[in-house]
Structure 1
Amino acid sequence: MAYKHDYDKILTRLTIILSKLNDGESLSEKELALEFNVSTKTLQRDFNDRLSSFPIYKENKKWKMQNGFKIEKTKSLEEQLILDIIEKMTESIGGNFATKSHKLLSKIKNEEFNPIYTKLNIEDITDRFDDIKLIEHAIKEKKELECSYENDREGKFQARLKPLKIVNYEGFWYLVAFRDDYLEKYYLKTLSNIKQTDTVFSTDDKIDDLLNNSLSIWFKANIDPFTVRLYADTTATKYFNRRPLPTQSIESVHQNGTMEFTVKITDEMEIIPIIKYWIPHLSVLEPLWIYEMVNEDLQSYLSNQT
């Protein structure tokens, strides 16, 4: 049985060996055995088993790192796991974005195997890379944008925007920006003819708090949040405990495994789609007008089924 300090010694030895190889040194098992006061069999096990996932090879009785391979020395196992998750998330986007991100992450990770799998329906925006870079630059430099936009309410029109953030809600990409001092959200793929101007604008940091507390793209600015109180049965309770909504606060937990909780929102459409998704496992306790809106839509749906 190996004790903790034994594992510490092994980890220290392997880290030093990898650091030497990463610096271009050629290593002899005999010399390393003397340096670390271990047997050559231990060093053989290090190279053949413990370091087998790295691109190292033996030539003229010395171990070397393959040309063109570099290890990020500060990368921990936790960071490796994070990189694996990020890679799988970018795969879900697809297109050139996934291909380019895979190449970039491979340079950091130095390995092909990934034990993580994710299924995220994220919109592919690789065809808008040039526009996104332009918008990103305008956000960083706080420069206004001129562009064309089209929606169902106003049709196609010219807009002058103060861009704040590129955001993703439920897999779709939006630009959050001020237009005539009103905070608006623009579906990214319907923006066109985007040009950066020389006009500089100023903002405060409230946009980050607003986004962090939002439940969906329906959030509103300059509106005091209001509280919605909900009842969750055992099925919904498990989910909302695992993945709490922003601003979620548990009011009471019942012995039968159900609970009552509240969320703060700025627009009813932040919560109504969530309630509908979870029917019959989630119901509205307060306010009454939210309950009536959901009930009216439900009755309309049922009447159309007969």
Structure 2
Amino acid sequence: MAHGSDTRLIVLSGMSGGGKTVALRALEDLEFYCVDNLPAALMPQLVAAISEGRGPHTRIAVGVDVRNRSADLERMPGVLSHLAGEGVKIDLVFLDTRDDVLIKRYSETRRRHPLSTEGLSLQDAIALERKLLRPLSAIADRVIDSSDLNVHQLRRLIATEFGLAGGEMTVLFESFAFKRGLPADADFVFDARCLPNPHWDPKLRPLSGKDAPVREYLESQPLVGQFLADIERMLDTWLPRFESEDRSYVTVSIGCTGGRHRSVYLAERLAERFRSSHRQVLTFHRELE
């Protein structure tokens, strides 16, 4: 069964620790239907089901990595070729990273490599992973070296460098902690440290600005509502000016002391508000990710 000409499938693969999850979240923010670690045999069924449910303008992203069985990875090129023959626009994006950077990232996070359960050292697991993913890296449409990219830069790259913005300006609302420094790429910076702080309530302290009790607390504070309205008015005035200058990406950063409560809440609220006027809206919470 042929798919509509506007059905688009992005397959994200790459080295574990290279940023695939970050990239998949960025695509999800851009309203792609995202599925991680999907077996190759199920990919045509997923595309058919989502295309039927979402209409002619279907955007799907699938994460594929070494957690898939080796036979499944070897089958993937044939599956993608079949889907392309059915009229699906496919981009295979491979996130590569230098071995020394991967070792450092695993050391800092203390996460286990997916292949370490087989009794391999980290270095041997990385080498085996490269071998298993060779069928995909060899046919990738785009290879991104994420070795020198932070999370924020990778999200920006996914949104701007690969035709995902569709000619429209992308707006990123980012939360951060002032104690860890200003975001390097911010276009607007707002300081929320003057607002009531949920941190001082022991029940709210372990939560974040995404949690309902924190949202309810902040929404009950008149100053928070006024602060939010002032930012909205400013952005309503100046975002169109950025668009008229053919800017493809604008970052709005909101900071507070710890980057967990006030700034996260405000970034989420602003994203909700501006999704009504901008199709490409991302959120990123630096201290939560």
Give the TM-score range, shorter chain.
under 0.3
Greater strand share, structure number: 1
Q: TM-score, normalised by structure 1?
A: 0.19
